[in-house]
Structure 1
Amino acid sequence: MQWGLLGPAALAGERRTRTLGIGRAVRRFNELAVPGTGGVWFGKQVFLAILGVRVAELARDARMPVGNIECANAIEALACWLGYNESKWAPHPRLRGINTLPREHALDFRTLRRPGFYVSQPTRMAVGQSLMPLGLADGRSRRFNSLATTEAGRNLIALACGDSGRHDIVTQLLNWVLGKSVTWPPRFVKLLSPCVPLTVAARGLLHSQFILGSEKEDGTHKDRRRAAMRWVDDLRSHPPSGPLGWEDRPAAIVDDAHWKDLQAGAQLMACRAQAIVVLDELERKLALFPKETLRVEEAAGILGGELADLKVAADRYLSFSHPDADAMAFGRECALPSTSDRLEHLLRRDDRVLRLVAREVKSGPAFRRAMRNDNASDPALSADPEDAGVSDGIIDWPANLSFRVRNLYVLNRDLLEEPNAMRNETTNQILVDAQL
């Protein structure tokens, strides 16, 4: 289980997401767990994002009107296309768009910059919020289009690309953006492909930036990220012999408030997971009723066990007395004495898959009738690109631990270990890729 904004799969015309009104709370708890890392889980993600910002800057200097977002998205689409083409279109967890990118197509910037050519949630969206805290970019805000590269960001590009010169990758990409004729020799394919790790020097610089952060970053945020990095590095050096539990507080997490935030966030996600169980089960039941209508009191009676488990999970979260107002309101609604009141509040928070109309449960625009024959919950998809987690396949983490800690463990290995050590392992297996 991860801290993400999870919801069932996409349907034509309607996106099935169930944030339940706590999306901002989830992001705040993730930031409290490991500040400034967004959804980063391997170094090439960061390189491609800052490379997109740099090329956009140079293009604007050459009087080419292009935003950071469309430039970075196009470069990522190009990198994934080249990576797929190199591997003869074999799936890879670091590549996106296998079902959207055409096998044969012109690779000009004008085509790749178009909305809809690539995926709707590129990895750039998961990285953008990390560039300022890591000191790789600066700007008026963390909004990607407002970012400008810093000296550290430009150094990362230089170290990742090796020798510069007239035919370096930045110049090649700039010419590509400007509409000039370019080719993509094997050296450039390797530099861009997400499947190929960064150079040792670039990985060293990036690792340092995760430790040092930006001069403008809050000191408490740096301390928490450093503590989390010490934790995952201790686990890398000394893998545990069994599952980790919440009673096993790591020595690296010395701040009591940090540890409490990790625990409270995990319990909030346990509560949210049980709320999803309630709604999924109700969706299955509703599909069996005539006219797909059910009185809320009757539905609460059918889901008595699930709603009782929801109250238990909510009470556990409330026991932390965490000050997050959105999460506290959600927990109180899930802990109401009346089962029908609990369900009523959940339905009002959903209102996409299931709706409450005059005390009756009805199907919403994203209702899935196939649920009637499905005994499993819908696959969990990330509604927020920053909340895309990975499964390391090695560590059995404490229940519901923030996905950012899991990602940091994978990232730490990517930055510190030799590339061959990362090959053919389950470390880079994405749990769910919404685009696939």
Structure 2
Amino acid sequence: MTSVNWGLLGPEMLASERRTRTLGVGAAVRAFNDLAVPSLGGVKYSKSIFLACLGIYVAEKSRETGAQVSNIQVTNAIEALASCLSYRMNGWQSDPRLQGNTKLRGKEDLSFKIVSQHNFYVTQPMRMATVQTLPGLGLVEGKGERFNSYCLSVHGVDLVRAGCEGFKCHSNGIADFLVKWVLGDARNPNQLGLLQAISPLEELAQGAKGIIKERLVSGNDDNAKRRRNALTWVGNIAETPCVNWKKPNELTDEHFKDIQSGAYFFMLRDKIMQLLDVVETDVANAKSGKLVMSEGFSINVVKSLSNVKSAADQFISVQHDPSPEKLATLLAKECLQASDAQIILSLVDRDNVVLKVRDKEIVKGPAFGGTQAELEEEYQGVSLFPAGVSYRLWNLHVLNLDFNGQLELWLNKKESV
């Protein structure tokens, strides 16, 4: 059995950096995702955007008092606190809106000093999905995409205020209490008002959602138009699913071509990942601990290689490659070389993390794991978009459900499938 190190939906980051296979096409991955839904990043829930802005706001206010804290430190701590309080509320049941179920169990001391420690929470918090979203939607100001350099814009401050409005914790406003918490306030943060304000399981106030949606669709530049059109499209997708590549009226020709080309590219990449996993399994099973090209390939490798070639043909047939320096086309052409051995050697050479090429033999790389288990795809069995489309379109679909107060219903339906 094989796994797909990048799922079909193609996120830009993996949970395990050690096994990250970029194949030298990371710029193409980012480009195709950004062409589909510009500046959305990895966000799919409005509450995660609010929590990121709240963390920056509290960090700014804390620094004004002389506290030596960073945006990342405070935001991670607030997110960890929100997750911990949420798990306590729901009896430690897993939920796609929460992280750290195992890591947070048994944590009793919820002081900022403890919660902000590096090993208290997960290594890749939800905040990381917002790094491109916040500046892209004009919620923060700052150079580049360094979270610690961000400061809230007027829109970001408005979002924080709208999300906190009406909630109190120990008779303080939510942001005011959290600043005091950062500064060492020892009062128990496990209070209903704070939970309702920051828990990812609690719906964000409609006014705050409205600010996020307005930032998503406002503007007349091409990125804003693409986001606006994509949001309209996903809003209609349940009634008119697009599974056969018939262009929807909501999108421009160029936008749709970019999405289609990106989908074929992502499917090619995933087939390559499957092939590399099959090769990894064969290396693990080989007595010599390596694969020699002259000895031929197993039936599983031959089958996976055939799938790679078909995917490469399909991508090239679209005749549309907006990726930087045609990186996607270069990858596809490497998968159509005359020699099967050369194709595999080229792809393993691109990997160079899990597997490596040595003297035209395939050997174990520094991140070698062995036999891989099959990975279920997140949206398996759901037919709304054509196969392979950017994960950002799925995330935008979920975010739109969130805007319309339908998120809880959708999550419950998904769990019952």
Fold in common (TM above 0.5): yes
Asked whether the 8 Å contact 1:391–1:426 carries over to 2, the reply is no
| Alpha-carbon distance between aligned partners in 1 of 2:184 and 2:416, rounded to the nearest angstrom | 35
3-state SS, counterpart of residue 290 of structure 1: coil
In the other structure, the counterpart of 1:403 is 391
In the other structure, the counterpart of 2:4 is none
| Alpha-carbon distance between aligned partners in 2 of 1:251 and 1:6, rounded to the nearest angstrom | 32
* 1:412 counterpart = 2:400: yes
Asked whether the 8 Å contact 2:282–2:291 carries over to 1, the reply is no
Asked whether the 8 Å contact 1:414–1:422 carries over to 2, the reply is no
Asked whether the 8 Å contact 1:6–1:19 carries over to 2, the reply is no
| Alpha-carbon distance between aligned partners in 2 of 1:428 and 1:194, rounded to the nearest angstrom | 21
| The 10-residue stretch of structure 1 (357-366 or 402-411) with the greater mean CA deviation from structure 2 | 357-366
Distance 1:361 1:136, change over 3 A: same
Asked whether the 8 Å contact 2:84–2:104 carries over to 1, the reply is yes
| The 10-residue stretch of structure 1 (349-358 or 28-37) with the greater mean CA deviation from structure 2 | 349-358
Aligned runs of 1:9-408 on 2, under 5 Å? 15-163=18-166, 167-184=172-189, 185-212=191-218, 219-236=221-238, 239-240=239-240, 244-253=242-251, 255-300=252-297, 303-319=301-317, 320-324=319-323, 325=325, 326-369=327-370, 371=371, 376-378=373-375, 391=379, 395-408=383-396
3-state SS, counterpart of residue 259 of structure 2: helix
| Alpha-carbon distance between aligned partners in 1 of 2:153 and 2:12, rounded to the nearest angstrom | 31
| Alpha-carbon distance between aligned partners in 2 of 1:142 and 1:344, rounded to the nearest angstrom | 35
| Alpha-carbon distance between aligned partners in 1 of 2:13 and 2:287, rounded to the nearest angstrom | 29
Distance 1:96 1:42, change over 3 A: same
Q: Give RMSD over aligned pairs.
A: 2.5
| The 10-residue stretch of structure 1 (108-117 or 160-169) with the greater mean CA deviation from structure 2 | 160-169
Per-residue CA deviation, residues 225-266 of structure 1 (Å, 9 max, x unaligned), is 011001011225xx24xx63243211100x221111101111
Asked whether the 8 Å contact 1:410–1:428 carries over to 2, the reply is no
| Alpha-carbon distance between aligned partners in 1 of 2:265 and 2:411, rounded to the nearest angstrom | 35
3-state SS, counterpart of residue 101 of structure 2: coil
| Alpha-carbon distance between aligned partners in 1 of 2:410 and 2:210, rounded to the nearest angstrom | 16
Give 1:419 shift: 6.4
| The 10-residue stretch of structure 1 (47-56 or 21-30) with the greater mean CA deviation from structure 2 | 21-30
TM-score under structure 1 length normalisation: 0.86
Letter paired with 1:78: L
Asked whether the 8 Å contact 2:213–2:403 carries over to 1, the reply is yes
In the other structure, the counterpart of 1:2 is 9
Asked whether the 8 Å contact 1:312–1:335 carries over to 2, the reply is no
| Alpha-carbon distance between aligned partners in 2 of 1:162 and 1:6, rounded to the nearest angstrom | 34
Distance 1:331 1:169, change over 3 A: same
Give 1:393 shift: 7.0
| Alpha-carbon distance between aligned partners in 1 of 2:341 and 2:34, rounded to the nearest angstrom | 34
Give 1:49 shift: 0.4
Asked whether the 8 Å contact 1:5–1:19 carries over to 2, the reply is no
Letter paired with 1:412: N
Give 1:328 shift: 2.7
Give 1:182 shift: 2.8
3-state SS, counterpart of residue 131 of structure 2: helix
Asked whether the 8 Å contact 2:245–2:260 carries over to 1, the reply is no
- Identical-residue share of aligned pairs (%): 35
3-state SS, counterpart of residue 357 of structure 2: strand
| The 10-residue stretch of structure 1 (96-105 or 144-153) with the greater mean CA deviation from structure 2 | 96-105
Distance 1:419 1:252, change over 3 A: closer
Per-residue CA deviation, residues 269-297 of structure 1 (Å, 9 max, x unaligned), is 11111111211111222222212122134
3-state SS, counterpart of residue 425 of structure 1: helix
Structure 2 portions without partners, runs of 5+? 1-7
Asked whether the 8 Å contact 1:280–1:378 carries over to 2, the reply is no
Give 1:306 shift: 2.4
3-state SS, counterpart of residue 104 of structure 2: coil
| Alpha-carbon distance between aligned partners in 1 of 2:212 and 2:346, rounded to the nearest angstrom | 45
| The 10-residue stretch of structure 1 (324-333 or 24-33) with the greater mean CA deviation from structure 2 | 324-333
Letter paired with 2:105: P
Asked whether the 8 Å contact 1:392–1:410 carries over to 2, the reply is no
| Alpha-carbon distance between aligned partners in 1 of 2:210 and 2:198, rounded to the nearest angstrom | 18
Give 1:378 shift: 5.0
Give 1:395 shift: 4.3
Letter paired with 1:349: R
Asked whether the 8 Å contact 2:237–2:384 carries over to 1, the reply is no
Give 1:61 shift: 0.9
Structure 1 portions without partners, runs of 5+? 381-389, 430-436
Letter paired with 2:413: E
| Alpha-carbon distance between aligned partners in 1 of 2:131 and 2:224, rounded to the nearest angstrom | 18
Letter paired with 1:318: I
3-state SS, counterpart of residue 287 of structure 1: helix
3-state SS, counterpart of residue 291 of structure 2: strand
Give 1:413 shift: 0.8
| Alpha-carbon distance between aligned partners in 2 of 1:368 and 1:206, rounded to the nearest angstrom | 42
3-state SS, counterpart of residue 363 of structure 2: strand
The alignment of Structure 1 onto Structure 2 pairs a total of residues equal to: 403
Letter paired with 2:321: H
Asked whether the 8 Å contact 2:167–2:196 carries over to 1, the reply is no
Asked whether the 8 Å contact 1:139–1:147 carries over to 2, the reply is yes
| Alpha-carbon distance between aligned partners in 1 of 2:383 and 2:195, rounded to the nearest angstrom | 33
| Alpha-carbon distance between aligned partners in 1 of 2:119 and 2:416, rounded to the nearest angstrom | 26
Asked whether the 8 Å contact 1:394–1:427 carries over to 2, the reply is no
Asked whether the 8 Å contact 1:282–1:299 carries over to 2, the reply is no
| Alpha-carbon distance between aligned partners in 1 of 2:193 and 2:181, rounded to the nearest angstrom | 16
In the other structure, the counterpart of 1:384 is none
